[in-house]
Structure 1
Amino acid sequence: MNSTQIKHSLRAARRALSPGLRCFSGGEVTEDVPEWSAGSPHLAEEASLYVHWPYCLRRCSYCNFNKYIPKQNNDDIMTKCLQRETETLLQLSQVSCITSVFFGGGTPSLAHPSTIAAVLESVSRQVNLSHDAEVTLEVNPTPVGMSKLEDYCRAGVNRFSIGVQSLQDEHLKSLGRDHTSHEALQTIGEARRLCPGRVSVDVMFGRPKQTVESWGTELSELLRVCDDHVSLYQLTLERGTQLFKQVQSGCVTVPAEDVTAEMYQCARKTLHQRGFHQYEVSNFTRRNSVSHHNMSYWRGKQYIGVGPGAHGRFVPLGEGGVVREARTQTLEPDVWIREVQQRGHGTRRRIQLGHLELLEEVLVMGLRMTKGISHKHWELFSPTQGLHKVFGASVDVQELLQSGQLILDDRGLRCSWDGLALLDSILPALLVELERQTLQMPHTQFADGQTKTISNPR
């Protein structure tokens, strides 16, 4: 591959890796395409819902997410606008069932429990939200956050994701976190009491001053008290953040790339020894306590994003849409509020996803899972071009198969144990081959039996 192909492939991979968090652009489709983009009829009828609470009390030194320090208490108006946008987008999507709800941020544990209840009530008025649907709330493990956990459960939350990040108080302070390790452990205990088996903890590695040895000790301590789900995140230096500037100036150093790679492998082995099964690049579970909401992302299902800066992927059937769109809501809370009040939603950007763009997302997201992509799942989105046909003849892909990093067999396409740790370096070859094969096929037969000409989406 030449440098241009690699650059294009990496850009396509990056833009799909973080649904609901980072925006990406896809090519526009110039001709109508049937509603195959939803994958299959039942996929068009259901979606997951992401609700973004944009406020934090302070900004962490490493964070570049869409978050704001509130100037005043506007909980009432935020609640009404979240309700209204939820109703509007559900009507546009025409889905009949919401399979999961995730309240993220920002710091959604700053929201009043009545806000959570109000949004869930709005969902239930519009569509089916079963009593056992997974409803997750991200929690900042401060005393204030912990004090509201029981009220959140009464409001309808049945799963907590706790942003522990570190059990080293010195590291928490340098990261700009406003909790202590003791408070994090207390919050985990209270959450487990309220939602046993449905508490996830987030922990970060690759932090300044962190070593492989200290990381192993810290993770072992956490595993003694955590519940059945752990999410690992490698610290990423994001341009424009305080930590990025500190590292650039030489005031702070972070572990080298080979050290963070060793930390990741150390964590995988430690978690496996403690009975955790890795089911995705960053996620580990015992007793099958997987994140059903995130699974819907990785399986290429529809999701609706509500709130400032939220992202969605759904077919707007209510407007006569026939292809899946990538939607981004207005970032700034004050502007978003005005737009919701004026027209019912704050959608700032809509991009139709062409055949290639959708398959790119299915590929990139699906390979994050240890099970990878089954032939049956791929055929939902590519009924005439199977995995063997798309990737089987590629020299670059054959090298990955022969090296043992990638597996293509009767089960489907997936990374090996070693390959999963190298996913970012594996994806470029796959994405280049996917583009080559897709653009060589001017006609594609869709799941509804129709045949259409797809214009080059680039």
Structure 2
Amino acid sequence: MGALDKLRGRLSAGLRKVRTPVRRNLTRLRPLAPEKEAAVYVHWPYCEKRCSYCNFNKYIPRNIDEPKIRDCFIQEAKTLIQLSQVQRITSVFFGGGTPSMASPLAIGSILDTISQCAHLAEGTEITLEANPTSADASRLAEFQKAGVNRLSIGMQSLNDTDLMLLGRNHTASEALRTLEEAKRLFPGCTSVDLIFGLPGQTVISWVQGIQKFLPMCDDHVSLYQLTLERGTSLFKQVHQGFLPMPDQDVAAEMYECARHILQDTGFHQYEVSNFAKNGALSAHNLSYWQGSQYIGLGPGAHGRFVPWGDGKIHQEARIQTLEPDIWMKEVLAFGHGTRKRTALSKLDRLEEVLMLGLRMNVGISHQHWLQFAPTFSLWDVFGESEEVKELEEQGLLLLDNRGLRCSWKGLPVLDTLLLTLLNQLQQAWAEREEKSSGT
């Protein structure tokens, strides 16, 4: 398994649900050292049903003891925030699963606990993922009262046939009703997810759907190409020959058409999959892509923070226990349900900074990179690389006084670029280590 695949495996659960726009009236606060602040991701593990394409950590409940799981979220929040010793929370994201299945009381109680453990300023972005069938008007209003100020709506498509194929339990009209209510309650603060590259989908049908949707959407859109995941019913149907997938060239054309349509209607692509207008970037997303600390709460959540409370000084990658009942037992016994802790080396951190930072259109500035490697600049790593120079000549990559970033042409093929860039980073790091050891 290559370096890129290993990184994808490590990051997948913690980074897959980062889809909502930044609150534009954030309270101005005195800057803190990076290790003194963190984002929080809360993973609600339950869904009404499993979609045909989804392999996320989710469970179809028979009976949910919500007071018990709520108390476990509260306890784990107290334990891990204290362990991290952060003083300020920069954003909170409720993902899943389907967190809009949780009661507004549970969401509010978790937020209250987080704010008691570290400073949660008024106006801080607090996002909730919502499915149309579990988010009617009155329920959305209750979530707003509980402290939520951003919504991420999993519409996925405006085509009822596609929604049935994906195993969604809502219709296009239901999704639009939810979107209209969300826009009324959270104007400028509602994000929508759409999926392309579906079996039987054509470029024409995709473009028609985008054009139909855009007049009704808010200020943030996330586009995701369908990925066939092993163990899902859609994967089985495609591999048994029952459903035809569009080839990669067709999927690439869908993505390019959508990029241009969104750009022409005032949306700015600020990340590979994310588009915003009126400055509605995602604070929570940006914290991931910029390599900031985040604390993962709940079954299967991932985190990245320094456990100062344990006397450690290096950041750890942490994964919480997957199965909700086992996770709750561990939280009740130990205060948290962390399944795995992995100390991240300096090279691990730089690989993540590279992989995630280049997802953004602005890329990685020299100043940002030097926060993680004060004596190992972007010029040191990539300045003399013939492979990097070739990518620059092809118009895919830029390395200049601003830093390292993909061009508009390069963003769609980032995965391919990363194979070259990660190899160059590893080679430059090995040469550096060899010189420093005097061998």
Question: TM-score under structure 1 normalisation?
Answer: 0.90
SS at match of 1:250: coil
1:357 to 1:373, Cα distance in 2 relative to 1, 3 A:
same
1:143 to 1:20, Cα distance in 2 relative to 1, 3 A:
closer
Distance 1:18 1:146 in 2: 32
Number of aligned positions between the proteins: 423
- Whether 1:78 and 2:69 are equivalent positions in the alignment is yes
1:367 to 1:312, Cα distance in 2 relative to 1, 3 A:
same
Counterpart AA for 2:62: K
- Whether 1:280 and 2:271 are equivalent positions in the alignment is yes
- Whether 1:237 and 2:228 are equivalent positions in the alignment is yes
- Whether 1:186 and 2:177 are equivalent positions in the alignment is yes
- Whether 1:20 and 2:11 are equivalent positions in the alignment is no
SS at match of 1:328: strand
| Aligned pair partner of 1:262 in 230, 236, 253 | 253
Decide whether the 8 Å contact of 1:17 with 1:364 is kept in 2: no
1:374: which partner in 2? 365
Structure 2 unmatched runs, 5+ = 17-30
Counterpart AA for 2:3: S
SS at match of 1:440: helix
Displacement after TM superposition at 1:386 (Å):
0.7
1:371 to 1:204, Cα distance in 2 relative to 1, 3 A:
same
Decide whether the 8 Å contact of 1:81 with 1:337 is kept in 2: yes
| Aligned pair partner of 1:122 in 109, 113, 117 | 113
Question: TM-score under structure 2 normalisation?
Answer: 0.94
Distance 1:70 1:146 in 2: 24
Distance 1:356 1:15 in 2: 17
Displacement after TM superposition at 1:16 (Å):
5.8
Decide whether the 8 Å contact of 1:139 with 1:162 is kept in 2: yes
SS at match of 1:289: coil
Q: How does 1:47-446 map to 2 (within 5 A)?
A: 47-142=38-133, 144-442=135-433
SS at match of 1:71: coil
Distance 1:16 1:77 in 2: 29
Distance 1:257 1:435 in 2: 29
Displacement after TM superposition at 1:12 (Å):
4.0
Distance 1:227 1:322 in 2: 42
| Aligned pair partner of 1:10 in 4, 7, 14 | 4
Counterpart AA for 1:393: E
The alignment-based identity, stated in percent, is 56
1:145 to 1:340, Cα distance in 2 relative to 1, 3 A:
farther
Deviations 1:414-453 (A, max 9, x none): 0000100100100011001111111222399xxxxxxxx8
1:147 to 1:256, Cα distance in 2 relative to 1, 3 A:
farther
Decide whether the 8 Å contact of 1:139 with 1:145 is kept in 2: no
Displacement after TM superposition at 1:41 (Å):
6.9
Counterpart AA for 1:329: Q
Higher relative contact order (CA 8 A, sep 6+): 1
Decide whether the 8 Å contact of 2:13 with 2:300 is kept in 1: no
1:414 to 1:16, Cα distance in 2 relative to 1, 3 A:
farther
Displacement after TM superposition at 1:394 (Å):
1.3
Deviations 1:200-245 (A, max 9, x none): 0000000111110110110111111110000000000001110000
Counterpart AA for 1:380: Q
Decide whether the 8 Å contact of 2:13 with 2:301 is kept in 1: no
2:28: which partner in 1? none
Deviations 1:315-372 (A, max 9, x none): 0011111000000000000000000000100000000000110000000000000000
